[in-house]
A and B are shown apart, each in its own frame.
Chain A
Amino acid sequence: MKANPKNVLTGAHYLDGDHACSEGALAAGCNFVAGYPITPSTEVVERMTERFPTIGGIFIQMEDELASMAAVVGAAWSGAKAMTVTSGPGFSLMMENIGLAAMMEAPCVIINVQRGGPSTGLPTLPGQADMMQVRWGSHGDYEIIALSPNSPQECFEFTIKAFNLSEKYRVPTFVMSDECVGHMTEKVIIPPADQIELEPRRYTTLSPAEYLPFKPEKDLVPQIIKAGDGYKIHITGLTHDEKGYPVMNWQTQEKLVRRLVDKIRLNQDKIVEFEEENTGDAEVILLSYGISSRVAIPAIQKARKEGIKVGVLRLIVVWPFPEKRIYQLAKKIKAFVVPEMNYGQIVLEVERSAKGQAEVYLVPHGGGWVHDPEDIYKAIKEAVR
């Protein structure tokens, strides 16, 4: 399915990352946004409010982020392509209904333009410290998909990708941007609509008598309907059977929650995406994501000039995590160096995936500004010593 030309601002533009997210969402066919103002993400919804009235779409400023996320799940079930946008404190408030989205298998997109935390933290300055929260933040067991852009161009592209993945796997999908990328202005090329491929919603072809809202297809994802189509479905956040009815026992829990987890885990080879550079003969691999992957470039260049064989693995999809590839690489290299703007989140996944086959060095940063490339360079030197 191709994008609708009326939604796509084809051409070369000078956009910041937040506005590029808006254009990505519009190109993906987003027609419902519920949000609550929060720095540094507000520009995303501001642009939506400007663009929606001439395209056809609903923006509503809710009373808080609990409401924003609840409205997104509701809108997804009435057939809208729904999105919300937030940052740290708002992200924490959304967790309740992110769990609901996972349980109700509502396709939806959440953009988190990360800032420094905890609590109110640094509203106007960057952070990457919500990377574990996005994976584990709501209670109970579930899986999500999260992407991490490092430029306005990627904000545009990854927002479309996020919508597509959320439709394909019926799972809340996250664009984990940060204040730097969100407020960085660069050239963004928006292709013609016929070059933008969209994943259609997985509407059922079955009749109301045959349809079961949570009966999975081969890839473990069930077909969907939208409210008002006469299917008279019941959808609940309680543990439910294939009919959608609540059933309070461990057998139903096992069947449902295992599938919610497995629909991502067993399809992870199709979802995982990363970029590799010079990993073939690397002795050390710089593993990063988002803005930190750009900040690391001078450090990599400096180390390479000194003859250190530095490879790069940049995560595009952060969750699910590319554990298989990291294990393969770990067996061939001496160490991974992981710069991230937190005190150790994704590095734990790298350690887990490397299974002791390579050293893992964290280059931490509390957020508020990006790393000094010199600190990353020193870690590379330390790693090959």
Chain B
Amino acid sequence: MSETQVIGKTPQKAEEHPMAKILRMDRIPHIWCSTCGIGTALTSFATALEKVNIPLDHICVVSGIGCSGRIAGYVKLDSFHSTHGRALPFATGLKLGNPKLKVVVISGDGDIAGIGGNHLIHSARRNMDLVVLCINNFVYAMTGGQTAATTPLTAITSTSPYGNYERPFNLPHLAASCGAVYVARWTCLHVRRLAKSIEEAINKKGFSFIEIIAPCSTIYARRNRLGDGLDLMKFYHDNAIIKHGADTRELDIGYQDKIIVGKFVDIERPTFLDSLNAWNKKVLGEKFREYGGPND
């Protein structure tokens, strides 16, 4: 836990919040529950932003709807809180409208893989130049904890009171098999490794997907009697196995089972815009006029 102490250090005097550069301090306190993992994921994002060589003016955040979808409202960047499931197509429009922007989608598992699943597979297939941080808390938390496309088998939710019988998605495998060029998974315990992954993903061109396993003690853990936030962190500590380059087919998450984390995919492939421009240039030659953005 020594990694988190730097960020969590209690200020000795009234000084600026360590993330004030990134956060909209006029919107704090946030709405997330105590021990929720979303704040931790946001902290890792903020840490990564300090290291990337892209001006903050050019970095945009797009969220969908849900607990994680509220991140867009707290980051001091051009930030868009779109509709449920549509963060990826919104981000696609934002990116293509001005190719100079670096667009990061931060949203939950229900938003990105449930209602937005179709957009996820197509964005990965196109290799749209986007970073996706998918915060997975295993349930639809904002609406009270209903079964999600990520709920582990047998887990109790508000709509599976006798246990979940639907097989969940293996998100890294889904993203990788659809064509993502960067795929990783971390838990909210792995803050430094997560921040490093986010940094790599932002610096990379193409569709990057990072799954962030996040504790939801108010809803998921309470219903399943898994203890409080600290117990969940202890669970990650004891059960997360770092296995870089693991075969993504083997990344299913069982109920209270081992969680394999790490960087699984890091490859190069032309992005949607690279392909569009290269092909048209090849076919149309000098007649082709590349779109350079709104000031073009």
Contacts and interface: CB of A to CB of B under 8 A. Distances in A.
Given A54-B284, A227-B98, A227-B101, A70 B93 contact: yes
B98 A228 contact: yes
B73 interface: yes
B136 to A, nearest CB: 22
Interface residues of B, number: 50
Nearest to B74: A234
Interface stretch (A15-23, A58-66, A171-179): A58-66
B287 A226 contact: no
Interface in B58-83: 58, 60, 62, 72-73, 76-83
B122 to A, nearest CB: 4
B289 interface: yes
A56 B90 contact: no
A159 interface: no
Interface string B234-269: 000000000000000000000000000000000000
Contacts of A63: 89, 118-119, 122
A58 B96 contact: yes
A73 interface: yes
A231 B245 CA distance: 40
Contact of A56 (B58, B60, B276, B291): B291
B83 A96 contact: yes
B86 interface: yes
A189 interface: no
Interface in B126-144: none
Task: Give the one of A67, A104, A226, A235 with max B CB within 10 A.
Answer: A67
Nearest to A72: B93
A245 B86 contact: no
Contacts of B294: 31, 78-80, 226
Interface in A99-125: 99-100, 104
Q: Is the interface of A mostly helix, strand, loop or mixed?
A: mixed
B10 interface: no
Nearest to A64: B118
A57 B79 CA distance: 24
A234 B93 CA distance: 17
B225 interface: no
Contact of A54 (B83, B88, B100, B288): B288
Contacts of A287: none
Contacts of A74: 62, 80, 82, 89-95, 97
B169 to A, nearest CB: 17
Contact of B100 (A82, A96, A228): A228
B96 to A, nearest CB: 5
B15 interface: no
Given A56-B289, A80-B97, A236-B72, A71 B90 contact: yes
A53 B289 contact: yes
B280 A53 contact: yes
Nearest to A55: B289
A343 B60 CA distance: 46
Contacts of A229: 57
B184 to A, nearest CB: 24
Nearest to A246: B73
A70 B97 contact: no
Nearest to A201: B294
Task: Give the one of B58, B90, B95, B118 with max A CB within 10 A.
Answer: B90
B53 interface: no
A230 interface: yes
Contacts of A228: 57-58, 60, 78, 98, 100-101
B296 A31 contact: yes
A231 B80 CA distance: 13
B287 A54 contact: yes
B293 A79 contact: yes
Given A32-B93, A67-B119, A56 B290 contact: yes
Contact of A96 (B77, B86, B276, B292): B86
Contacts of A310: none
B288 to A, nearest CB: 5
Given A74-B95, A97-B83, 14 more contacts: A31-B296, A34-B93, A73-B90, A74-B92, A74-B94, A74-B97, A78-B95, A100-B82, A231-B78, A232-B76, A233-B78, A234-B81, A235-B81, A236-B72
**7 closest cross-chain pairs (CB), A and B:** A79-B294, A74-B93, A71-B93, A78-B97, A75-B97, A67-B89, A80-B97
Interface of A: 31-32, 34, 52-58, 60, 62-64, 66-68, 70-80, 82, 96-97, 99-100, 104, 226-238, 245-246
